[in-house]
Structures are given as C-alpha cells and as structure tokens.
Chains A and B, each alone.
Chain A
Amino acid sequence: MSESAAALPHMDGATMEPSPYGVKTKKLTIWLFIASDAVTFGAILFGYSYLRVGTPDWPHPFRFSPSILNGMVMTAVLLTSSLTMLSAVEAAKAGRKASCLKWLGATIFLGIAFATLHLREWFHMFDEGWGLARNPTGGPVMFGATFFSITGLHLMHVISGVIALIVIAIGYKTSWLDQDHVETTGLYWHFVDLVWMFVFPLVYLMNAAR
C-alpha cells in the first residue's frame, strides 16, 4: 500500500475517500442537525413576526423590571455556559479528563440555572393572567401563543442539552465516550446559545413596555 493510500480512512479493510468537509462523521451529523434546527427556529420566528406585523394592537407586556432584567441575566448565564463548554472541549482535547468533567459540571449547572430563570418568568406571566390562549389586557391572544411556543421550544432544547451533557459527562468519565462526543455536544450547546441571541431581542426586547 502506498503512503498516500495509508493516510486515507479505512473501514472493514477497504480504503475510503477522505471527507470533503475534513470532519468526522459525528461532527458532520451534528452540523446537519444544527442546520435543520436553525431552519425550524427560523420558521417559528417568521411565524411569530408574521402574526406580530399583522396584528394592529400587539401587546407590549415586558417591563424593564422584572422581565427584561430577568432576560438579561438569562442571556449572561447562557453565554457564560458557552464559555464553560469551550473550556470542557479544550480540556477534553488536551486529555485533561478531570478538568473536562469539572467544566461540563459547570455547564450543566448554568443550563439548569437558565431553565429555572425561564420557568420563573413563565410562572410570573401565568400569575399575571397570560396563557397560550389568554391575554389579561383583553387584546389579541396570539402573543401568549407565540411567546410560550417559541420560548418553550428553546427551553426544551436547553433541557435536552442538559440531559445530553449529563450523559456525555458520565460516558466520558467511564471512557465509554471520547473527546469527539464532548465536542459535538458542545456544538449543539453553542447552537442553543445562538438561538437565544435571536429569541431575546425579537421576543422580549421588541415587546418591552415603553
């Protein structure tokens, strides 16, 4: 076998062509998922925008305190969790297992903190009379439907991410999973963070009471 052929990936003894993307299959798969999920969030945000533009008396229920302030803290928590996730990936790449697990633990904690803050915001809104088809101000009910759908979908992604991170941490600790799994889960976690960069301004700030 020539030297160039030996450098190519192999499977069951057969020589394969190198990936045109230059990444491993699991990483390419998570990128495919991220692309499809980005379109899902794009569609739901377009749906929200369509209803918002088409509804003349759209409500602006979010006062600076507590709602926008809570959203700012949630944004900071999620951004910080991306940083701790990066630290976990860097540690995994360097083979520092204990450090990786520590940073994964920090990311899980911040993910749970974000979900808790989010649910606190929801319960505050329920107390004010908002619901999927309820508007306490007597205006259009579409606000509640879109708000709880978009933030609920994002919250579901955060909770799924926390569960995935717990599984990855256990798997990595027991050497059942490797650094590539930490990296691909990290990509998903950063994506969840990026989606919030659109949800916060479009859903919270555009509906702030002025």
Chain B
Amino acid sequence: MGATHSPGMKFYVGVWIGLLCIAGVEVFVSFLGFPPHELLAILLILAFIEAGIGLLYFMHLKYERPILLWSFVLSVIFVLLMMNQIWPDAYRMVSLGRW
C-alpha cells in the first residue's frame, strides 16, 4: 500500500543540487535591483517551483495515487487563494501614511 517506487539516491542527489541552484538564483536576483513587486513575483515563482519539486520527489507525491495529490494540494491552494482578499485593505492602509 502506498508509494513503492523509488527513483534511487542518485536521482535524489540531482534534485537536491537543483534545489540548491534555485536557492542560489533567488539570492542572485535579489541583488539585481528589481522593483519590489517584480522581485516578489520572481521569488514566489521560484519558491513554488522548489515546493513543487519537493512535494513531488522528496515527499513522493509523484509516486502516490493522484487523488492524494489533488485532494490535499488543491484544497491548500484554494484556502491560500481565498486569503488574497486582504490586498485591497493593505493598499488602503498605505494611503493612510504611517501608523
């Protein structure tokens, strides 16, 4: 029962090197002088790529039944998307000036 397939440690070492490289790219782009909103978008995309790789390979979701991936990951993404309703109020606060 559950994931029995394992791609082997060589593959995992490759994934680990890839994740380290993505983290290195994150630091590099942080000092390239991007405006904050563009930097945030770049860093979030890279973080989600890292998380996706980690979930699929380190946490073996790729080798489990697809229903596990869809039921858990989609429900978490749905809740996180619902939290985005805070932004209009955050931008309203900026116009109020310092607290």
Write the residues of chain B forming the contact surface with A, with a CB cutoff of 8 angstroms. Answer: 1-3, 6, 9, 12-13, 16, 19-20, 23-24, 26-27, 30-31, 33, 36, 39-40, 43-44, 46-47, 50-51, 54-55, 58-59, 64-65, 67-68, 71-72, 75-76, 79-80, 83-84, 86-87, 89-94, 97-99
Contacts and interface: CB of A to CB of B under 8 A. Distances in A.
A68 interface: yes
Interface string A54-92: 111100000010001000100110011011001100100
B4 to A, nearest CB: 9
A193 B55 CA distance: 11
A140 B99 contact: yes
B64 A35 contact: no
Contacts of B79: 39, 42
Contacts of A79: 16, 19-20, 23
A126 B93 CA distance: 29
B75 A21 contact: no
Nearest to A46: B83
A208 interface: yes
The 9 closest A-B pairs by CB, nearest first: A54-B93, A201-B43, A53-B90, A205-B30, A22-B65, A197-B50, A23-B2, A54-B90, A190-B58
A24 B76 contact: no
A206 B40 contact: yes
Contacts of B16: 79-80, 82-83
Nearest to B24: A72
A194 B54 contact: yes
A177 interface: no
A176 interface: no
A54 B94 contact: yes
Given A53-B91, A140-B99, A194-B54, A31 B9 contact: no
B64 A23 contact: yes
Nearest to A86: B12
A206 to B, nearest CB: 6
Interface size class of A (residues with CB under 8 A): 35 or more
Interface hub of B23, B79, B83 (most chain A Cβ within 10 A): B23
A109 interface: no
A50 B90 contact: yes
A201 B47 contact: yes
Contacts of A140: 98-99
Given A194-B54, A197-B51, A200-B26, A22 B64 contact: yes
